[in-house]
Homo-oligomer: A and B are copies of this chain.
């Protein structure tokens, strides 16, 4: 039996500002990464997002990021490991408390944006994130880029680890993602994206942009909710996976 989780970023609104199509994408995913107030989100939004997830049966995770509201957590901020550790614990702690007060258990933690990317290649940052989860939520799953430094570090820390794949992003032969400013970085054709999702679910190789193929080991696939056509893409992926007899369920139920 093949299991797979579909995750998306959620709760990125802030004060008067709305962002993302939270309601639309919730119909297709099984796990949500909820912003924790430092790169996006605020306590009121966090609570509403958790309630929404609870209603839809979507598992809740925390999505801590660099404290940079202007830059939406997409700019790498040179923080020391001690700072990363403390800021991750505080952010996840805020979200976990809001969720617990709604009767919702924290399933996972996934670093956001630049913090995710820096963790994927920088051992000290990855270790700070892993240490935060290990010390404060030892039962939570840490979602990491499949095959990255952060995967190695998280396993070494003894954490439950979920490997993330991107069915709408181009990969290189070495398993790394094609940077967003290069050709082939983003796939938008629903059929192609859905087909990749199924291949990833079964551990089958996909075409790499630099020739040859690559196997992306994935426990969860990232579904983007803020791009045009996002809901359509999510629907196509979900339908294709179910047709291929993949069990699409929250990580916590099978990992």
Contact = CB atoms under 8 A, between A and B. Distances in A.
Interface stretch (A87-95, A190-198, A230-238): A87-95
B79 A89 contact: no
Interface in A68-102: 68-72, 75-79, 82-83, 85-87, 89-98, 100-101
A97 B93 contact: yes
Nearest to A100: B136
Q: How many monomers of this protein are in the complex?
A: 4
Contact of A86 (B43, B78, B79, B136): B43
Contacts of A75: 77-79
A90 B86 contact: no
A211 interface: no
Contacts of A18: 17
A15 interface: yes
Q: Which of A78, A89, A94, A135 has the most CB of B within 10 A?
A: A94
Contact of A93 (B68, B82, B93): B93
Task: Give 9 closest A-B pairs by Cβ, nearest first.
Answer: A93-B97, A43-B86, A17-B17, A43-B90, A101-B135, A90-B94, A16-B72, A101-B136, A15-B70
Interface of A: 14-19, 37, 40, 42-44, 46-47, 67-72, 75-79, 82-83, 85-87, 89-98, 100-101, 132, 135-136
Given A14-B14, A68-B68, 16 more contacts: A14-B17, A15-B72, A16-B19, A17-B19, A44-B83, A46-B86, A71-B77, A75-B77, A86-B98, A89-B101, A90-B95, A90-B97, A92-B97, A93-B93, A96-B97, A101-B132
